[in-house]
A and B are shown apart, each in its own frame.
Chain A
Amino acid sequence: MLKQMGFIFDADCCVGCKTCETACKNENKTQPGISWRRVTQVADHKYLSVSCNHCDSPECFRVCPERAYTKRRDGIVLIDPNLCNGCMDCVGACPYTAPKFDIISHKASKCTFCLPRQQMGLEAACVSACPTGALQMYNFKQAYPKGTVAKIEGFPDIRLTRPSIRFFPSKTRERYFLEER
């Protein structure tokens, strides 16, 4: 592959505002209830924003009986809705629950890395909307950015699919809480 596109998520910057989630809906017009990107709170004000991680070894691609998934030369994993038969194998197989099942169209869909935007020279909608710079696009054929780690609290096992995502972990901070009444 020429590239392996993916995301860098800075847990130290993310404030859990879900702007990335809504920006994705605004851009991709997913059906109500379908979120290609999801922000979750893993501990008190520690957040995780996850979409498809365009894995090096995508489980969705492997399990799909219709061969609806492709892995492009830039690393992006796509699903062809015309080939999807709605069996939901990919939905169950993905450790990051990236493929979402739409009960109306009876098909799975997932993050496209905003290919149409990229073709216009724009960043993915989630990345460009993030108010804190917590999300970045990154080509993992390059050396990993300094200070990033492979996994943080709340993120599923990475050994199976080798997801194209790295993390800046949260820093420890000085806090003084009220203790008694």
Chain B
Amino acid sequence: MRDGGNKVYRNVCPRNCYDTCSMLSYVQNGKLEKVEGDPLQGYTQGRLCTKGYAYPEYVYSPDRLRYPLYQYPRGSGHWERISWDQALEKIAGKMIELNRRYGSNLSLAYNKYSGNIGLLHYAIEGMFNSLGAHTKPFGDACLAAGKDALHYDLGKALSPDPESMAQAGLIMIWGANPAWTAVHQLDFIKQARDSGAKLVVIDPLFTPIAAKADLFIQIRPGTDGLLALTLARMMIERKQYDRKFAENHLFGWEPFLSYLQDKISINETSEVTGVSLQAMEKLASLYASHRPCAHWAGFGIQRSSNGGQNVRSISALAAITGNLGQKGGGMFYLHPSEDLFPRNLLKYARPLADGKKDREADINNFAERLLFFDKPPVRFLWIASRNPLSQDQDLNKWQELLRTLELVVTVDLFMTKTAQMSDLVLPAASHFEEVDLNISYWHHWLALNEKAIPSYYEAKSDLEIARMLTRRLKEISPGFSNFPDELTAEDWLAKEFTSQVYTAYGLTSWQELKDGPHKLRAKTPWLDRKFRTCGGKFELYSNEAKKDNLPALPRFSWPQTKGDYPLRLITPQNPYRIHSQYNALTWLSGEYDNVLQINPKDAAQRELAEGDWVRVYNAEGEIIKKVQLSNSVPPGVVVAFQGGDNPVNILIARTAADMGMKMSGSRNAAFYDTYVDCVQGRR
């Protein structure tokens, strides 16, 4: 497309975010001049978020990495610019040497996650798979518990189109703050409210979305499930549940009923959750009078050792009240549209010789697992789309792991905490500099990401790097890899479009995406009330869960760990960052980077005043933050935001949610089960 002197390209923001915004890039003489939202994408409707509009600064940030860099000794800060040829030589040389030393590639490992969730970034998985048996991560660090919870209930975690929330009568948000993390959802919420819908927010924190709610209920962290079960009990007692749905489509109604009758009491719930009887009454009356209800289970409620149960409890409430399969209502968590795609790069594999197997390390316990591996030990680590030294749990183990590694390679756009501790850093392309395909896990749009500008200095995409390194490996040692390095990004892209994909998105050729994003043709899930469980019913009582050594019914139990520290630490997103990304930009505010938000009562007990330096500590370690007194944070809770120079994750021990094994093979981190204390500190 053209617009005056600009060429206009279609791009997609590839961040790990609900909104996956389609954008238009205005390019003049090969330079990205500005970005706009793509009006043809119906969820983001021509708008970006504050981070999205900052891309012109992001792309040309003076802090962006330009060339491959080599650091010796590691961590010293003595960086030397080297050429791609030298970098590839060092990497390929080490890989082959380790292969010869140990007789296999098992000492080679990678860690890659969600820094860029474009489909072609699976090139890293493909590149390693092509080496034969190696050491790889598995599991889901974010959403595994909630996904399993919905799998037990529904047979598959499917969410309705979030645009349908505009038809809701009640929107009930548990532990999500779309005002900061999914701004485009706000328009659909507004549409619903303009036609009379009410918004309820239940959260331990008084968030910006909570401030807009018709009813905000502050709740003790990790007790959401109990409130949901209590609300279910209230609905049943008041005959405000869906009797027909219960008779025909629920499995386990009787045991669920007796569980509620025996174990759930309103008074006790009030004690545990901290929610007053009056607030519960108000909630129950709104819930009964406004239908259909869109229940949005945020990712926050499942970051605890009873997280899966929290999600199952909310979904049980949605089910017994007949809200599932109602347009505008239902249970919103995530929608796995990516499952429709073959993901050829992810699944690309070299047939393994007899008896040879990959070694898999749980991504939620990665450093410890890698240290545990022996015969051969892991000696080489490739890190891409990830900043574990800022974002992982159990960072002390990472330090230990680094000491055992002979070569650490990090691919990134910026000198992250992880890059700083690598031997080699390779400059990564921004999404404006590569071709890709982007599929949201929330909304239902599919969009093509075009190459809009030339590479920034010597930056390269993960796929280009995989191709180059493979070529070098094959030159030195023919047959070392079977990665088809001759295939271009467009070749891999074309392979993703199976006839199933074409039908699902109403496409006849993938090139049509150059004219605009396409939407999945999906019916509201569960419209036909045919659930994907064994018996075809919604399972209040899940035999599958029982088989997996979990309670068959959604049950409330206290988070397991309490620890020796009095303050529960919550580490949400802030509006100007995604995890540790974006922190190099002047266009985006850094106001949340180094603060500890604390209730004035807790601060007074510790003689802390606004702006004081504070030492936040637990058995894992300590960090220095600046006190921000906040009435948005309840007593007994403190908030520190992710990323920054002094990452809060140093305080996060190895913890796990209750679920995740079923669909992801591993339980996600229970980040919010962290307890700390704090005292006056000095910088």
Contact = CB atoms under 8 A, between A and B. Distances in A.
B171 interface: no
Given A32-B587, A131-B184, A178-B274, A45 B50 contact: no
A32 B587 CA distance: 7
B70 interface: no
Interface string A1-36: 000000000001101111101110111010011000
Given A25-B57, A173-B216, A177-B218, A132 B186 contact: yes
Interface in A144-181: 173-181
Interface in B176-233: 179-180, 183-184, 186-187, 190, 204, 206-220
Nearest to B37: A129
Interface string A22-61: 1101110100110000000000111000000000000000
A133 interface: yes
B183 A131 contact: yes
A118 interface: no
A19 B179 CA distance: 11
A128 interface: yes
Counting contact residues on chain A (CB < 8 A from B), the size range is: 20 to 34
B604 interface: no
B575 A17 contact: yes
Given A129-B47, A131-B184, A177 B634 contact: yes
Contacts of A45: 206-208, 210-211, 632
Contact of B211 (A18, A44, A181): A44
Given A22-B587, A129-B53, A176-B278, A44 B631 contact: yes
Contact of B48 (A19, A32, A132, A133): A19
A133 B183 CA distance: 11
B50 A181 contact: no
B54 A22 contact: yes
B344 to A, nearest CB: 35
Contacts of A15: 179-180, 183, 186, 208-209, 211-212
A15 B207 CA distance: 9
B635 A131 contact: no
B53 A23 contact: yes
Interface string A124-145: 0000111111000000000000
B192 to A, nearest CB: 13
Contacts, number: 131
A178 B602 CA distance: 14
B275 A176 contact: yes
A43 to B, nearest CB: 10
B46 interface: yes
Contact of B213 (A22, A26, A29, A173): A173
Interface in B261-283: 274-276, 278-279, 282
A128 B47 contact: yes
Given A173-B216, A174-B216, A19 B211 contact: no
A180 B50 contact: no
B498 interface: no
Contacts of B276: 176
Contacts of A131: 47, 49, 183-184, 186-187
Nearest to B637: A178
A136 to B, nearest CB: 14
Contacts of A22: 50-54, 587-588
Given A18-B589, A26-B34, A44 B206 contact: yes
B577 to A, nearest CB: 12
A15 to B, nearest CB: 4
Contact of A180 (B53, B204, B587, B635): B635
Looking at A15, A130, A131, A176, the one whose CB has the most chain B CB atoms below 10 A away is A131
A18 B184 contact: no
Contacts of A132: 183, 186-187, 190
A181 B50 CA distance: 36
Contact of B208 (A16, A23, A128, A130): A16
A178 B180 CA distance: 23
Looking at A16, A22, A133, the one whose CB has the most chain B CB atoms below 10 A away is A22
A128 B46 contact: yes
A176 B218 contact: yes
Nearest to A15: B179
A174 B34 contact: no
Interface in B16-62: 34-35, 37, 46-57
A105 B179 CA distance: 36
A138 to B, nearest CB: 19
Contact of A19 (B49, B190, B630): B49
A17 B49 contact: yes
B98 to A, nearest CB: 45
Looking at B180, B587, B632, the one whose CB has the most chain A CB atoms below 10 A away is B587
A31 B52 CA distance: 18
Contacts of B672: none
B24 to A, nearest CB: 12
B404 interface: no
B500 interface: no
A19 B53 contact: yes
B287 interface: no
Interface in A92-136: 128-133
B422 to A, nearest CB: 28
A46 B49 CA distance: 19
Looking at B34, B47, B50, B635, the one whose CB has the most chain A CB atoms below 10 A away is B50
A174 B57 CA distance: 40
B634 A174 contact: no
A19 B216 contact: no
Contacts of B204: 178
B186 A27 contact: no
Nearest to A18: B50
Contacts of A17: 49-50, 179-180, 183, 208, 575
Contacts of A44: 206, 211, 630-632
Nearest to B283: A176
Contacts of B634: 177-178
A133 B191 CA distance: 11
A147 B402 CA distance: 61
A46 B51 CA distance: 21
Contacts of B219: 178
Contact of B636 (A46, A130, A173, A181): A181
A43 B79 CA distance: 46
B586 interface: yes
A81 to B, nearest CB: 20
B281 to A, nearest CB: 11
Contacts of B34: 26-27, 29
Contacts of B186: 15, 131-132
A181 B184 contact: no
B47 A25 contact: no
A35 to B, nearest CB: 9
A25 B278 CA distance: 46
Nearest to B602: A181
A25 B54 contact: yes
Contacts of B48: 19, 23, 129
A46 B220 CA distance: 24
B30 to A, nearest CB: 17
5 contacts: A17-B180, A26-B53, A128-B46, A132-B183, A174-B214
Interface of B: 34-35, 37, 46-57, 179-180, 183-184, 186-187, 190, 204, 206-220, 274-276, 278-279, 282, 575-576, 586-589, 630-632, 634-636
Given A26-B53, A44-B630, 11 more contacts: A15-B186, A15-B208, A17-B179, A17-B180, A19-B183, A22-B53, A22-B54, A23-B50, A45-B206, A129-B53, A181-B635
Closest 7 CB pairs of A and B: A45-B211, A15-B179, A176-B279, A22-B53, A131-B183, A32-B586, A178-B634
